[in-house]
Structure formats: C-alpha cells, structure tokens
C-alpha cells in the first residue's frame, strides 16, 4: 500500500511548503498512499451534490416560496421543487447502494466508512488522541492513512446510519404519493406507523436534514483545518485519491 | 328459529322491490363498486339473515353516533332498520337499565361468534376502569366480555382507534384504544373525530354484504376509505403544485381558495376520505370551507402541537420548549457554526504561535 510518491502527484499549493520542509529535513521524498479509489471519490462528490440539492429543495418544500399570482395552470413551482428533490433522493439512494457494493470489492479504506472498530485498542487510542488534538491539549496529532477515528465515528453515525435513516424515511414519505401497493410502499411503508404516523415521519425527516447540515459544517471546517494543520493531505486526497504525508516521523 | 333476511324485513316495512333494487344500486355506487355488484348486494340481502350489531359506548362524546345517523348513502335509517339488527346501542335503543343489559347476554348466547361488536369510545384502565361505568360495572369489563364471542370488532372513531382527546397527554384516566385491550379478534379501525357518516355505513354495508372484512392497511383501516391522503384528492391540489398558498387567513389567497399548506393544513399527512366523500351528504369539508385539515383521523392528533402547524411539535420529546424542527435546527446550526468559528480562531492563533516558536528555536520545530 505504502509507496514513495512521484513528484507532482499532489497539488503544488499543498505540496510546496511540505516539500521544502522535507528537503530541509534530509532530502527524503514524501510518503504518498493511494487511499480513495475512483468509485469512492465519485461517490463522495455525487453524494455531496445530492445532499446540497436535497437540503435546499427539502427546506423549500417545508417552507415554500411566497405565493405566486395568476392562474394555477401557469405555474408548477412546488411540483418542480418536489421533482428535483425526489430525483436527487433517487440518485443519492442508488449511489449509496453502489458505495455499499464497492466496500466489498474495493481496498481496505473503502470499508472504513461502514465499520466502527470499537473492539480495537488502536481505535480508542486514536480517538482520544484526536479529541485531545481538537481540544488543543496535544500539540501534534497522529498520522492516519485512512480516516482518523474521530472522523470515522462521525462518518459512520451521520453518513451511514443518518443517510440510511433519511433514505428509508424519504422513500416512506414518497410512498404516500405512489400509493398503497407500490414497491416503495411495500418496501418502506411500514416505517410510517412504526414512527407514529405521517406527520411524525415528516418531522423526523426534517430534523434529519438539520443533523446533516450540522455534519456538513463540522465536516467542511475540520477538512480544511486538517488540510492545513494535520500531518496528511485532505482535500487533494478525495480529489485525486492520493494521500500525502508531511513528515516521515514514526507514529 | 328462522332468522329474517334483510329483504324480508324491508318488504315487511312496506318497501317495494323496485325501491329495494334502487337501494342496492346506490349502495354499490357508494362503495365504489361496479354496476355488476348491485345484483350481488340484492342477492346477499335476500338470502342472508340480518347480522346483529352490538354497539358499545365507552369514554366518548357521541360524535360518532351523531355522524352515523346523518349518513345519506345509504341512509342511516336503512342501515339500522333494514340491514343490520342493531340490538344494543344505549344511545339509540328504547330500553334502558337491566332490560337493556339483558339484551347483551341474549345476543351473545344466541349469535355466539356471529355478531359484530362496534365500539365507540375507549376504556379507561386507571383505577381498575372506574372512570367509565356502564350498568354498574367498569366499561373495560363489558368490552372484554362482549368481545369474547364477537365475529369482528369495529373501532368507531379516533377514540376507539387511537385514544383521541381523553388519551392526550397526560391521559389521567389511562384511556386505551380497543386494539390494546382486545388482542384475539379482527379489529377494523374507522378513525376520525368523528368518522365520515358514509364511511361508517359503507364499512358496515360491506361487511354484511360480502360477509367478510374489508381489505385493511397496515394500521387496520379499510383501504377503500383510508388508502389515500386528503392531500392526494384535494380540489386545491393544483394550487399546491403551482406554489400558490394562503399566507394568512384573511389574505387574497384565502379569498381565491389557494392551498392551505402554509397555514398548517394537515391534509398531506392525514389519511381519510374527506376530500372525496365530503360531509353532510357531500356538501363540503373543512378545506372547502377555507380551513386547513386538523388531521383528526391520525394517531395522537391532540399531542402533535398546533392545529395550524404542519410539522409535529417537539415539546415533550426532550426539547422542553415549544418548538419545531426548523427552530431546533437553526439554533443547533448557530451553536455549531459559532463553535466552529471560535475553534478556527484558536487554531489560527495556536498555529501562528507554533510557527513563531519554530522560527525562534530553529531545529526543534518543523511544519508540525
């Protein structure tokens, strides 16, 4: 997995200062690992786009735009917004299934999203070190080829469990329109009585959106912060797949 | 003893065969059945003995009965006098006291396993059921006793189906819906506060005509009346899709009959037949009168917050204050956003400091 990088694989903006440091420290080349395979990267960005579209359209389904004047037949605003929401929901769900499938055939890191290795000592050690690093109690974080355990925990809770919840409740609500007996109803309709009725499911689906929005705020912030302050690259890793380390110190 | 058929009873009451057949066609139409079902209904009514119905009243307001007696298609009178044998209904029957209660025992023995139990209201379970006493005994005892030999149970209204107002938090009497007290009988829920008159008579007519339960959904409601939301068949739906809403109850949109979504109409989350069958012989229904649906046929509609809010209130779900999903979400986003900003500021300061140190103490540092 670990191999020496070819100069120029990481974006220059990221690489320039690090490369200088590495050169100063003894002329070693930086360690670069191919972490995120193409399907994982594709899923990440498709998923991100879908989530943005779903949050925006979902919000405006819940709190529609001011009333339009004129004949009803002249407009289809809510209809269009709902169509975009449902289409994006379908794409997100299909992409999620594809991502699950890729976890079976992809590399080790492709499985990381779906696992929470609570039984591993190294996981807990990494988790506490990361918490200390974020609480400014440690001057230097650990190095991670994949996700750090703190990120892994959040990703599992929100991007796996959270997305499954949103997909299931979303299709359950969609089944109310497609009607009794439709495949959406047969697969997901049971969710509505289980969670206490249609209104309750609407409310929970809405709250789920806010949980995902909170996740996005934290995710984007911590990715940028890690990209600047951690010991490995972040933004370029999910763009070109290669993760570059800034130092070759042990641990 | 030979039991009278429906047809015989109707003829005895002076109804002509012509009127009888008209009635059968009307009933078929009211049930949404094709014309070929009219003769089937006629045949059933000519050959089947009248099924006794025992109609019990627990904790309730009698709005279900009030609705029922206003049924237009079929007329409640036709149902009560010709179709079913309503042997016990303490608000409608002539007898009272011990004579009335004696009828229960008589029907239970004579028609064992062959009568329909209709329940309006629900039993309160606190204090051993003392909050509702019928004939000197707790209602829950009467309900359990009569349910023992019933063929099926109809839960009239939101009280019997879900609990309704008397089961709203904090539910001091522990009013409990029928399906949480009786477990071994098929239960048909006909929710609504009250249910639509034609839905009530329609369900009874179906059961007697076809001698079987109507097809039910997951929650036990008849699919023929509860498989779609009010929203799905609402005549104001085009305004919803177009994006034309009543913003407040006295605005131009309200006068033009725009969609009531923004003023909290619960049509999109309520399963009932109001927008198709309507009320009072098809005259109108709440949305047609300019007021949003309050979702009276949904489980726990009293506990889900304002009747003018589409999403459930979060009070009582751990959030303490009255608030909705958007308020909670925005507040959380503000807190997290603020936290991120502060964290970013500290991070920047720390980094500047480390760089400064690194600059001074030459070989110690590195880019960290």
Q: Tens digit of pLDDT per residue, chain A (251 long)?
A: 344 444 444 444 444 344 334 444 555 677 889 999 999 999 999 999 999 999 999 999 999 999 998 899 999 999 999 999 999 999 999 999 999 999 999 999 999 999 889 999 989 999 999 999 899 888 888 888 888 899 999 999 999 999 999 999 999 999 999 988 899 999 999 999 999 889 999 999 999 999 999 999 999 999 999 888 888 888 889 999 999 888 877 76
- CA separation for the pair A9, B84 (Å, rounded): 83
- CA separation for the pair A171, A165 (Å, rounded): 10
Q: Which residues 6-65 in chain B show a CB within 8 A of chain A?
A: none
The shortest C-alpha distance from A201 to chain B (Å) reads 9
What pLDDT does residue B316 have?
A: 57
- CA separation for the pair B324, B310 (Å, rounded): 10
SS3 content of chain B, % helix, strand, coil (to 5): 45, 15, 40
pLDDT band at B88; cut points 50, 70, 90: confident
What pLDDT does residue B185 have?
A: 94
Mean pLDDT of B38-64: 86
Structure-token match 């990209």, residue found:
A227
Contact list in B for residue A207 (CB cut-off 8 A) is 325, 328-329
What pLDDT does residue A131 have?
A: 92
The shortest C-alpha distance from A182 to chain B (Å) reads 12
What pLDDT does residue B214 have?
A: 94
pLDDT, tens digit (0-9, with 9 covering 90-100), for B262-280: 999 999 999 999 999 999 9
Closest chain B residue to A218, measured at CA: B340
The DSSP result for B74-116, as a single string, is TBHHHIIIIIEEEEEETTT-S--HHHHHHHHHHHHHHTTT-EE
What pLDDT does residue A43 have?
A: 96
pLDDT band at B360; cut points 50, 70, 90: low
The shortest C-alpha distance from A178 to chain B (Å) reads 10
Q: Is the pLDDT of residue B77 over 90?
A: no
Percent of chain B predicted with pLDDT > 70 = 93
Question: A136 vs B328: CB contact, 8 Å cut-off?
Answer: no
Closest chain A residue to B217, measured at CA: A180
What pLDDT does residue B320 have?
A: 55
Contact list in B for residue A206 (CB cut-off 8 A) is 311, 325-326, 329
What pLDDT does residue A186 have?
A: 94
What pLDDT does residue B9 have?
A: 75
The shortest C-alpha distance from A105 to chain B (Å) reads 36
What pLDDT does residue B82 have?
A: 67
Structure-token match 């369900």, residue found:
B203
Percent of chain B predicted with pLDDT > 90 = 52
Contact list in A for residue B350 (CB cut-off 8 A) is 136
Mean pLDDT of B115-127: 94
What pLDDT does residue A111 have?
A: 92
- CA separation for the pair B58, B138 (Å, rounded): 9
Residues sharing a CB contact under 8 Å with residue B58, sequence separation 6 or more, in sequence order: B119, B120, B121, B122, B123, B124, B132, B134, B139, B140, B143, B159, B160
What tokens appear for B66 in the block? 């009030």
- CA separation for the pair A163, A151 (Å, rounded): 16
Question: A139 vs B247: CB contact, 8 Å cut-off?
Answer: no
pTM of the model as a whole: 0.84
The DSSP result for A105-159, as a single string, is HS-HHHHHTT---TT-HHHHHHHHHHHHHHTT--SS----SS--HHHHHHIIIII
pLDDT band at B312; cut points 50, 70, 90: confident
- Best A60, A79, A197 member to test B by mutation, with max B CBs in 10 Å, is A197
What pLDDT does residue B62 have?
A: 92
Q: Is A200 exposed, middle or buried (0-12, 13-18, 19+ CB in 10 A)?
A: buried
What pLDDT does residue B321 have?
A: 56
pLDDT, tens digit (0-9, with 9 covering 90-100), for B15-46: 889 988 888 888 888 777 888 888 888 888 78
Q: Which residues 83-142 in chain A show a CB within 8 A of chain B?
A: 134, 136, 139-140
Q: Touching check for A229 and chain B: CB below 8 Å?
A: yes
Mean pLDDT of B318-342: 81
Respond yes or no on whether ipTM tops 0.95. Answer: no
What pLDDT does residue A21 have?
A: 43
pLDDT, tens digit (0-9, with 9 covering 90-100), for B182-216: 999 999 999 999 999 999 988 988 887 788 899 99
């Amino acid at each position: 997995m670990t191999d020496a990088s070819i100069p120029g694989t990481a974006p220059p903006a990221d690489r320039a200062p690090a490369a200088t440091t590495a050169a100063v420290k003894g002329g070693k080349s930086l360690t670069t690992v191919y972490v995120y395979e193409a399907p994982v990267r594709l899923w990440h960005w498709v998923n991100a786009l879908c989530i943005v579209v779903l949050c925006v359209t979902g919000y405006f389904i819940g709190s529609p735009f001011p009333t339009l004047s004129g004949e009803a037949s002249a407009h289809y605003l809510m209809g269009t917004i709902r169509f975009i929401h449902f289409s994006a929901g379908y794409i997100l769900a299909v992409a999620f299934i594809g991502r699950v499938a890729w976890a079976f055939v992809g590399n080790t890191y492709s499985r990381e999203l779906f696992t929470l290795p609570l039984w591993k000592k190294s996981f807990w050690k990494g988790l506490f070190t990361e918490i200390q690093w974020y609480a400014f109690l440690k001057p230097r974080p650990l190095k991670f080829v994949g996700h750090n355990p703190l990120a892994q925990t959040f990703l599992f809770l929100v991007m796996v469990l959270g997305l499954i919840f949103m997909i299931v409740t979303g299709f359950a609500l969609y089944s109310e329109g497609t009607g009794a007996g439709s495949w959406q109803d047969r697969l997901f309709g049971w969710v509505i009585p289980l969670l206490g009725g249609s209104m309750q499911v609407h409310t929970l689906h809405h709250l789920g959106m806010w949980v995902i929005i909170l996740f996005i705020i934290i995710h984007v912030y911590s990715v940028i912060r890690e990209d600047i302050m951690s010991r490995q690259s972040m933004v370029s890793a999910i763009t070109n797949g290669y993760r570059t380390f800034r130092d070759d110190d042990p641990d | 003893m030979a039991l009278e058929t429906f047809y015989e009873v109707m003829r005895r009451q002076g109804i002509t065969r012509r009127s009888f057949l008209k009635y059968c066609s009307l009933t078929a139409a009211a049930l949404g059945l094709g014309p070929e079902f009219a003769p089937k209904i006629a045949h059933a009514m000519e050959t089947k003995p009248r099924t006794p119905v025992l109609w019990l009243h627990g904790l309730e307001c009698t709005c279900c009965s009030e609705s029922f007696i206003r049924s237009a298609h079929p007329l409640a009178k036709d149902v009560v006098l010709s179709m079913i044998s309503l042997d016990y209904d303490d608000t409608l029957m002539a007898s009272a006291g011990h004579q009335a209660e004696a009828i229960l025992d008589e029907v239970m023995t004579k028609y064992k396993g062959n009568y329909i139990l209709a329940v309006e209201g629900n039993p309160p379970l606190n204090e051993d059921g003392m909050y509702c006493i019928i004939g000197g005994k707790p209602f829950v005892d009467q309900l359990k006793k009569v349910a023992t030999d019933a063929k099926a149970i109809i839960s009239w209204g939101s009280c019997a189906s879900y609990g309704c107002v008397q089961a709203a938090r904090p539910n001091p009497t522990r009013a409990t819906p029928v399906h949480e007290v009786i477990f071994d009988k098929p239960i048909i829920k006909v929710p609504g506060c009250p249910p639509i008159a034609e839905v009530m008579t329609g369900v009874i007519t179906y059961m007697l005509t076809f001698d079987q339960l109507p097809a039910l959904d997951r929650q036990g409601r008849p699919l023929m009346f509860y498989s779609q939301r009010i929203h799905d068949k609402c005549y104001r739906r085009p305004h919803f899709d177009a994006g034309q809403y009543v913003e407040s109850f006295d605005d131009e949109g309200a006068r033009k009959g725009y969609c009531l979504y923004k003023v909290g109409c619960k049509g999109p989350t309520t399963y009932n037949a109001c927008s198709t069958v309507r009320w009072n012989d098809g005259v109108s229904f709440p949305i047609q009168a300019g007021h949003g649906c309050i979702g009276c046929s949904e489980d726990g509609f009293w506990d889900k917050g304002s009747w003018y809010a589409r999403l459930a209130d979060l009070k009582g779900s751990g959030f303490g204050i009255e608030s909705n999903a958007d308020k909670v979400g925005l507040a959380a986003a503000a807190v997290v956003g603020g936290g991120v900003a502060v964290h970013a500021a500290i991070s920047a300061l720390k980094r500047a400091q480390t760089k400064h140190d690194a600059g001074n103490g030459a070989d110690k540092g590195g880019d960290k």
